[in-house]
Structure 1
């Protein structure tokens, strides 16, 4: 039975066509992926499927019935809900208050708080969400917040849930729990539209996939009949970019990043690792593993309680970002928006921040030289922009990430630390970013990739696994997914892996 259809949908914004006679059809009780590059039309379709916008042409139906008028918000809530990457939960209210916001029952004109907590508890129990309704929503984890939003949607009667990049901020264990909850709900007849840039998740949890490209529907197919390369080709319109680049024997180069006995209370303890010139090393772990804090310490954003970081033979002052950069470190932070970019500045100004000393006297960048350097970066990294003067806030996620990477590489660093380099970017941009990193390694830069995504570290010479603040496993190239995921979850391989910590 068809749960949701969107047929012949066209939506224009002035001269821009966001959707061009596109469509999708979902079967009751399936998890259906919607994928495509940034700008393909996914977000526009979601806004139409949730009644936030009206299509210029086309028809949306739920269980064979036409969608309600846009003004009938209750009618839409009873049919569809979207769990966005950015939570819509009000953090200062309790879980129970969020679940029944504007639906509180009253007695003699007063809200029945005891009844609200009871109803909230019954709702959470019904869907297997182990959270106290009295918990303040701001204290929830990302995973818990998503489950509360799903439960809230189901409480309205909606049986169609849109999940927009639901795993972007979850670690591996939380992702698996989310998928298990989705499987349980799907078995009870709930239909999911799953939007993600992580194609391995599409193959893991979805039954069918629809691809949009350039505002048009390209294909819909069962995931088990669609090879990975064919899916990428459908999304990009051409053959996949090969991320690897020819590199020499990495273990022959000098050590350019030497971490010895780093300890930071409650984050990680006695961590040591080496990265050689031309080598690519991956570092993975759950959100609580300490890997991100370790990367921030290497970059000087955090000051360790003990241990040393040596970059290309220089040991910068602990907790000093300028010291780390001067020693030869390039750094790409986890959150490009909060930590990586200055949104009010242009593409050129953001890209050249690390090389202002080269662009003019006494550290003052001359506009012409800045423009020349930025134009070179735009061409080299295929940054889709109108030019160096465009505000960086106007870029797509993938192109914004390319600006941050270009800046990190502009100073010709000896060592490069990248944290979640492909988070929130489309598949084509992901391939382009990883290809640029491999090219830097081929030129002699030592690279440490810190990520939750196995695809980010597939081209690495070694992959280290952190668990509860310690490196517990080192896998050489050729590792298999199951063993690494097991180590991330705390399942230690039987053989010793200490020899992989350094080469």
Structure 2
């Protein structure tokens, strides 16, 4: 029987979703046949999460349509109809930890005896449901006491109890060890045999080959390809995700002075987000940190800026112990930072551009807390010119600026203190192409000035300026790529293809 003769369980065609000026999905497509495990892959920002919100009825598409079993999807307001069609099990559990398994399975629809909950019937129905789907969990256990894999199975059983036979698993293995992953896959296969269909989203491409029959690739908010997993070698899958053909240019290789003094040296750094990280950055060297969300790369970088305190290991800046957990002392020690959230962490929107740009260096501009306004304005004007910030002058409110110019103010402030270590976290996120180039040229200038630079980014263009890129996966450094890497090589490391 050809696949054309089978009515897809789920079909999305021509899905477009915009948020203001941003197009999160320009051409989302998905065709999932009954009883298969279908992988949805793509780099961060490819449009996967947006497509899932449309497939699960959390948002309506601006264009395009979703069909279940050949019928149009329910209206957004009809939540019960959506629950009968589809459910998503997210990386973070949606069960209520304080309640028992039985209470979570039938939350808001407990069996009643008169006006009161019938606890006996609740336990019986929960036990029957778990037995039907072969989920070995005690219905009376507190959900918070369950292992992650068992919590996931409770969520799947709850979805199946509504009648849904299409389950979206969003990064289900992120918090599981290898044995737990194997058990999850065995349960998925058993459920498939009983007519359950899965959409499997994972950054660990090895898992796609272990558990899925079909794969769909999104890139730059568009559908790229759908193919049987067996017909898609790993290199071809990574190439589809990267959008790079073998003929495309490689990154320029730079000579790094291997005798330059080490500015930042970390040994055995460990926290909840990363483990046993060794890292050095030399004077005039730019080191990138790459990895999927949840890899620990951002938390690691933020630790050097004083935002987090590791539970183990040490870090030294020019031989002196770096003060963890204290942003002001880190700044005084010589660390400049462009934080990940320019709105929440980077700018004070009630203040002027000049005030924001000079906030970290007021002690240098005046004595005993008094700063002459002419001196401050002059220093701010110099920074504005240096970073090509498009503004009427230092007295303009920073809230008037575009995203790109606002980010330049954050960069100006980071550079104002002449840091020995400059930490940049997603420095070009949400800025236009011209501003992006201007911000990245500051990285080159900082390198030439002898600053040690650490760049954390999901954008390959940001990482191209680096002399080497370290890749984190589940909190550990798993690969190091010297300048000259190819897109598909770096993405293979980031997505977990080449390290088991």
User: Structure 1 length normalisation: TM-score?
Assistant: 0.61
The residue that corresponds to 1:329 in the other structure is: 335
Instruction: Pick from 366, 376, 392 the counterpart of residue 387 of structure 2.
Output: 376
8 A contact 1:359–1:370 mirrored in 2: no
Q: Which residue of 1 aligns with 2:40?
A: 33
Measured in 2, the distance between the counterparts of 1:319 and 1:12 equals 39
The separation in 1 between residues aligned to 2:69 and 2:471, in whole angstroms, is 49
Whether contact under 8 Å (2:383, 2:416) holds in the other structure is no
Name the residue aligned to 1:494. Answer: none
User: What residue in structure 1 maps to residue 394 of structure 2?
Assistant: none
CA distance, structure 2, for counterparts of residue 63 and residue 325 of structure 1:
58
Which of 239, 259, 265 aligns to 1:229? It is 239
The answer to whether the 8 A contact 1:257-1:309 is kept is yes
Alpha-carbon distance, 1:153 to partner:
1.6
Paired residue for 2:119?
Answer: 113
Please tell me whether the aligned partners of residues 348 and 356 of structure 2 are also in contact (alpha carbons under 8 angstroms): no
Q: What is the correspondence of 1:329-348 to structure 2 with a 5 Å cutoff?
A: 329-331=335-337, 336=341, 340=345
With over 3 angstroms needed to count, the CA separation of the structure-2 counterparts of 1:221 and 1:145, relative to structure 1, is same
Shift in Å at residue 80 of structure 1?
Answer: 0.9
In structure 2, the residue matched to 1:61 is 67
Aligned-residue Cα RMSD (Å) equals 6.4
**Structure 2 matches for 1:157-306, cutoff 5 A?**
157-164=163-170, 170=175, 176=181, 180=185, 183-184=188-189, 185-186=191-192, 188-194=194-200, 198=203, 200=205, 207-211=214-218, 219-222=225-228, 224=232, 226-233=236-243, 246-249=253-256, 251-259=258-266, 274-277=280-283, 278=285, 280=287, 298-301=304-307
The yes-or-no answer on 1:81 pairing with 2:92 is no
Question: Residue 116 of structure 1: SS of its match in structure 2?
Answer: helix
- Counterparts of 1:84-103 in structure 2, within 5 Å, are 84=90, 88-103=94-109
Give 1:27 deviation, angstroms. 2.0
C-alpha separation in 1, matches of 2:155 and 2:319: 50
Instruction: Give ranges in structure 1 of 5+ residues lacking alignment.
Output: 380-386, 490-503
Distance 1:51 1:257, change over 3 A: closer
Question: Residues 464 and 4 (structure 1 numbering): CA distance in 2 closer, same or farther, change over 3 Å?
Answer: closer
Q: What number of residue pairs does the alignment pair up?
A: 459
Distance 1:391 1:98, change over 3 A: farther
Report SS of the residue matched to 1:61: strand
Q: Could you say what secondary structure the match of 1:180 adopts?
A: helix
- 1:256 offset after TM fit, Å? 0.7
- Residue number among 145, 148, 155 corresponding to 1:149 in the alignment: 155
Task: Summarize the Cα distance change of 1:65–1:281 in structure 2 as closer, same or farther, 3 Å threshold.
Answer: closer
Whole-Å Cα distance in 1 between the matches of residues 441 and 142 of structure 2? 43
TM score, norm. by length of structure 2: 0.62
The whole-number CA distance in structure 1 between the counterparts of 2:277 and 2:14 is: 56
* 8 A contact 1:211–1:220 mirrored in 2: no
- Which of 1 and 2 has greater Rg? 2
Aligned 8 A contact 1:300 1:320 in 2: yes
Distance 1:321 1:201, change over 3 A: farther
SS of residue in 2 equivalent to 1:253 = coil
User: Larger deviation: 271-280 or 24-33?
Assistant: 271-280
